[in-house]
Structure 1
C-alpha cells in the first residue's frame, strides 16, 4: 500500500498482528459514541463463502428497500482500502474515511489497537455518520473473538467450516466450528450452511447454548445446478421460500450453496425488512462480487480471477472449472502466501492447466511471501512450470502462451487484487 492510499496509516501505525479479544474494539467504539448501536445488522461468518453471502444479501436489501441506506463491511480489499466499507453499493468516499480516521486515530494509537480492530471501528463509525439503516457485516477471522462480534445483529449465518488459520482457530473442523459459532446470540436466528456431521453438530450445540433459533440449509436445499461462464442456475428448496428456480451471475456450484444460505438469512430477518421473493430475484441477478470465479474477456483471451487461498477454496474453484468448457490452452498464474498450504493447493490446479507460471504478488507482506522457485522444484508437475517473480511480467507472458485461451489467476487476495490493478479492470 502506498503512503497516500486511503487507510495507509492503519497499516503503518497500528501494532499489527492478530490479538483476539473484544475489549479494544469496544473501547474504540465507546469513545466514538457507540456508532455500532445506531444501525441494524446481519452478521455473516464461515471459512469460505461469507463474502459472497454478504454481497448477495446486500444486493437484495438494496433492491428491496431503495428508501433505506444499506452498508456492507467486508475484508480484505482487492485494490483500494475503501472497498471494505460500502454504502448503497459504492465504496466509502476518501473524505468520509479521512474524517472518521481523524476522530478515531488518537484512541487507536493510545490503545495500540490492531489493524482489524481499528478498521472495524472505522467502518461502524462511517456507517453511523452516513445514517446507514441496515449493514451486512462479514466476520474477519473466526467469530467468537473477532472484532465484528460487538454488534447485536438481527440474524447471523455460518456458511461452512474448513481448515484455515489453524494457528489461531484450532486444527480440527470441530474446533474451528466452535469459534465460528461464537457469533450466535440469544433469540437471534442462526443460519447454518455446514453439512458435515462433526462441525454441524458443534454449530448446532453452539446455537442451542446461545438460545439462538436454528435454521439449517440441508444438503438437498440446492439441486439441478447448471454452471456456465455466464453464471449459475439451480433449484432452491426452502421451508420459507418454497421451490424456486434461481439464477445468479456468480459462477460455481458452491455459489449456489452460498445463495441458498443468503436466501435463508434474508428469510430470517424481521418482517419489516424481510424482502419479497421478487426482491431476492432482482438482488441476486444484480450481484457483483469481484475476484470469485470472475470472468473477463480481453484481447481474445478469457481471464478468470479467483481468490482461492486454501485447499477448500481451491476445491470449489476446480469444481467450477470442471463444469465449464474452457477455451484451451489454460495457463495458470499462481502466487500463494508462504503460510498457506500451497503444496496441497497447486496440484489440483496444475492438473487442469496446460502450462503454469508461479509468481509473487507485489502487495503480499514481505514476511509472508513464498519462494516460487522452491515451490517449482518441489512439485511433480505434469505440465511446464515457469517461475517469473514479477507479476506484471507473468501476466504478459501468460498472454503470449494463450492468446485465445484461458488465463487463470489465483492463489491469494493479494494476487487477484494486484492482477486486476495491473490489467486496469475495475473492482466496483
Structure 2
C-alpha cells in the first residue's frame, strides 16, 4: 500500500479506503498487530473513557504532568482541524514526518491483517509514543471502551468520566448496558476511577468481579469549594486552595476531581506538587469545549453532540448572564439523538442557523429544520423563515449569524466536531 504514499494526506486518504467498515468493534485484529509490533509501555498509562468529559480530563492530566516536568504523550480523538492534534508529545503536535514513519511501521507489521482507519492510526500513535521515552502516556478512548482499539493497552489507571446515552447502535440503549462497555477499560489489580456521581451498577459490578481497585466519586474522592477556590479530598491525600480549572463549564470540577484521584493513585510513580496542580489547572486549554471567543458578539464553540453534553451546554449558557438574543449554528450526525439535544437548548436559542456537514453520516440542514419545527422551536410571533434558516456549510451559517447578531448577542456553535471545526476554519482563514 505504501509505495505511492508520500504525504500525510495521502496516507490518511488510503487508510480511509482500506477497510470495509468505518467502525469495526473488536480487539482481535488490533491485538495481533500490536503483538507483531512488540508494543509495550514501561511508564504509567492512564486510559480515559466515558460519554462526555474525556477531552477535558486528558487536557488537565497533561497540563499538570507537564508542569511537574514529565515528558507526556497524549492521544485524543477526533481532531478539529488537523489529524496531528491526535498525538501530542510534550504539549506539541506530532509532525507529519513522525506520523508517516509510524504508519510505515504498522504497514510493515500488519501482515495483511485488515485494520480500520481508527485501528491503524491508533497503533501508529501508540508506536510513536513507545519510541519517545515518555514518563507518562494518556489515552482517550474513541468509542465505548471494552472493544475500542485503545483498550489493547493495559492501563495502570483507568478513568470513566461519565456514563450517558450515546452511540446506542454499538453500545446499547441504557446506562447499564453502556456502563458495562465503558468499564471494559478497567484492569484487575489496577486503579479504576469513576467520576460519574451516579455510576451504573453494571460498571461497579464489573470492577468488583475482575478485582479492580474501584474509586467512586462521593465514596473514595470528593471536592468542595467556594467562589474563590476549591479543595480535593481523596483516600489519603487532600489538596486545598486550588485554582478553578481554566476550562469553563459546570462539570469541570467533577472532571478535575477524577484527575486528582488518578494522580493520587500514581503518587509513588508520578509525584506532583500542589503548585504543579494549581498551575496546571489554571493554564489548561482545550479548543471547542465551551470555548468562549473574545470579541463581540460573544461566540461559544462547544462540540456537544448528545443530550448529556447539551444539558451541560444549556447550564453553562444560563450561567453567562444576560444576552438579548442567542443564535445557534447547529449541525449534527443523523445517528445522534438530535431531538434530545434540541430539547435541552430550545428555550435558550432565539434563532437557529442549521447546516449541512461534509460527510455521509450527517443529518441534512433540512432534516434538522423539520425536527426543530416538530419540537415547536419557534417563539410566538416569530416568522418561521427568520427563526430557522438552512445553510450548506458551517461557515455560511456562521457568517449569516454574525451579520445579523448585535454586539450584545451571542452565537453558540454546537452539535458536532465538524460544526465547530467548520467555524474555526472560517475564523482562521
The 5-angstrom pairing of residues 158-307 of structure 1 reads 158-196=160-198, 199=200, 201-218=201-218, 221-224=222-225, 234-242=230-238, 244-246=240-242, 247-298=244-295, 300-307=296-303
Change (3 A) 1:234 1:406: farther
Q: Deviations over 1:28-48 (max 9, x none)?
A: 2223232x3354311111111
Q: Counterpart in 1 of 2:18?
A: 13
1:368 maps to 362
> What's the counterpart of residue 24 of structure 1?
29
Cα distance in structure 2, aligned partners of 1:12 and 1:358: 30
**Secondary structure at the counterpart of residue 47 of structure 2:** strand
Q: 2:417 matched to 1:413? A: yes
1:399 is the counterpart of 2:393:
no
How far does residue 261 in structure 1 lie from its aligned partner after superposition?
A: 0.9
Over 3 Å counting, the alpha-carbon distance change for 1:356 and 1:234 in structure 2 is: farther
Please report how far the alpha carbon of residue 182 of structure 1 lies from its aligned counterpart in structure 2 after TM superposition.
1.2
More deviation, 92-101/20-29: 20-29
Q: What is the alpha-carbon distance in structure 2 between the residues aligned to residue 413 and residue 99 of structure 1?
A: 27
Cα deviation code 1:39-59 (max 9, x no counterpart): 431111111111211111111
Q: What is the number of residues matched between the two proteins?
A: 411
SS in 1 for 2:301: strand
What's the RMSD between the two structures over aligned residues?
A: 2.3
Q: C-alpha separation between the residues in 2 aligned to 1:3 and 1:289?
A: 24
State the Cα deviation string for residues 242-270 of structure 1 (Å, max 9, x = none).
26243111111211111111111111115
Offset, 1:109: 8.1
Question: Which structure 2 segments of 5+ residues have no match?
Answer: 1-6, 380-386
Aligned twin of 2:50: 46
CA distance in 1: counterparts of 2:338 and 2:390, whole angstroms: 15
TM-aligned CA deviation for residue 403 of structure 1: 3.8
Give the alignment's TM-score, normalised by structure 1. 0.90
Given candidates 146, 149, 159, the residue that maps to 1:157 is: 159
Cα deviation code 1:154-209 (max 9, x no counterpart)? 21111111011111111111111111111111211111112226x0x322221111
State the Cα distance separating 1:106 from its structure 2 match: 4.8
